[in-house]
Amino acid sequence: MYLEIVSPETTLFKGDVDSVSVPGVTGEFEMLNNHAPVVSILKEGYVKISGSIEIDEENISKFEKKDRGYWLAINSGTIEMNANKIIVLAD
């Protein structure tokens, strides 16, 4: 599935991933390939992405390398998943 993470300043990440976990307002949830369409508001926490991921050098300092993927700290945001494409608008 394809993930794009966008902040007010720049696009932080775009590429194929295996899974994405996000801090929803009612709790953390994970999306895998062929997940049902979803739109949600995000609260402070981490966007966790896993898979064979390559992050641009200009943005790598914003991510933490953990276990099998990368974590990105956010204050808030929104997420939309539809047709195996996820867009995270992060603040």
Percentage of the chain with pLDDT > 70? 100
The CATH number assigned to the domain holding 35 equals: 2.60.15.10
- Note down the domain range covering 48: 2-90
Could you give the count of Cα atoms lying within 13 Å of 60 in the half-sphere of its Cβ?
7
Mean per-residue pLDDT, 21-49: 97
* 44-57 CB burial, b ≥16 within 10 A, e <16: ebbbbbbeebebee
Q: Which helix (H) or strand (E) holds 38?
A: strand 38-42
How many structural domains compose the chain? 1
Confidence of residue 68 (pLDDT cuts 50, 70, 90): confident
Q: What's the whole-model pTM score?
A: 0.94
Q: Which two tokens stand for residue 55?
A: 């992050």
Mean per-residue pLDDT, 45-55: 95
2 near 15, Cβ under 8 Å? yes
